Amino acid sequence: MPAEQGREHPPRRGQAAGRGAPQEEHEPERLQKVLARLGVGSRREIEEWVVAGRVTVNGEPAELGQKIGPGDRVKVNGRLVSVRFTTRAPRVLIYHKPEGEIVSREDPEGRPTVFERLPLLRKGRWIAVGRLDFNTSGLLLFTNDGTLANRLMHPRYELEREYAVRLLGELTDEQIESLKAGIQLEDGLARFTDLTDQGGEGSNHWYKVTLSEGRNREVRRMFEAVGLTVSRLMRVRYGPVTLSPRLKRGMWMELPEEEVCKLAGVPRPQRQVSARTAEKERQVRLHRTAPRGRG
């Protein structure tokens, strides 16, 4: 029997008798989708937690594919999750990652992590959209919405990643054609959708490359396959989001709500705001945060 049938749920808001006008009703949604949207974890993580029995709905173990509504009580690891069904735009941060930071919440070697510089969230957590190597700098996106993170990273959407690459040496015409046609790596064929010469001096030469996927160390491995070493690598664009020259290393900014909704492919939530608030939301503010716990 499907999880959403045969199990009694508390009456939803707006259905129970009571004082005042009934509240807006919401269609039940899949548990992992709701929790991912709240930033509790990615959909894959939440599915693993459900299988492991770490998620309950109304005091009963959750099931994969189960749907929940506003009246349901959801707990993860015994802690109650504030489940919201109101329409609210996700949040997205643009961070200029410097070299020497790891894209992980914890590192056994004690290296600084990108999460140490991000603002704290009252609920949920920041999810990194893809990764950048320890020695790679540039644009890194974060969101508090697991569904949006999945959309931005899933291969089927083929969002372009653009990098500025400095090589020790210069590519030949044959190497350029090979990199654009496809290089066979140990994890499959890889190719640049675009590769342009940006000039250089001495032994260093700059190129701008674009690909539509984000495998581990893919750019470096492609150049290594044709016999050249990457001496510097910087991501300058992810999909429609470009790294602003105003955003210096170690700084972050929040993407305006209108741009976030375009990125997520959802309509902007309708709400009443004053002209002053609207103007404030349109302003782009740059932030620099000292790593927490490191002074």
Q: Specify the CATH number for 29-81; select among 3.10.290.10, 3.30.470.20, 3.10.580.10, 1.20.140.10.
A: 3.10.290.10
> What pLDDT does 103 receive?
95
Q: What is the rounded distance in angstroms from the CA atom of residue 268 to the CA atom of residue 255?
A: 14
| Percent of the chain surpassing pLDDT 90 | 57
Could you tell me the fold of the domain covering 92-242? Answer: Pseudouridine synthase (3.30.2350)
Q: Look up residue 153 and give its amino acid.
A: M
Q: 3-state secondary structure string, 132-160?
A: CCCCCEEEEEEECCHHHHHHHHCHHHCCC
Q: Helices 146-153 and 257-264 meet at what angle, rounded to 10?
A: 60
54's tokens: 């770490």
For 60-101, what is each residue's pLDDT tens digit? 999 998 999 888 899 999 999 988 765 678 899 999 999 999
Taking alpha carbons only, the member of 135, 144, 120 closest to residue 264 is 144
> What pLDDT does 175 receive?
97
Element (H, E) at 75: strand 74-76
Q: What is the rounded distance in angstroms from the CA atom of residue 279 to the CA atom of residue 75?
A: 38
Question: What does the mean pLDDT of the chain come to?
Answer: 84
Main-chain dihedrals φ then ψ at residue 277, nearest 5 degrees: -65, -40
Burial environment of residue 15 by CB neighbours within 10 A (0 to 12, 13 to 18, 19 or more): middle
Q: What is the rounded distance in angstroms from the CA atom of residue 249 to the CA atom of residue 63?
A: 44
Q: What is the rounded distance in angstroms from the CA atom of residue 293 to the CA atom of residue 243?
A: 27
Let me know if 133 is a catalytic residue: yes
Q: Look up residue 140 and give its amino acid.
A: L
Is the full-model pTM beyond 0.85? no
Q: What is the rounded distance in angstroms from the CA atom of residue 192 to the CA atom of residue 212?
A: 8
Domain ranges of the chain: 29-81, 92-242
The residues of the chain scoring below 70 in pLDDT are 1-26, 85-87, 270-284, 293-295
Residues whose CB falls within 8 Å of the CB of residue 232, separated by 6 or more in sequence, listed in order: 164, 165, 166
Residue of 72, 107, 133, 145 marked catalytic: 133
Partners of 32 in the beta sheet?
none
For 240-278, what is each residue's pLDDT tens digit? 999 999 999 999 999 998 899 888 887 777 654 455 655
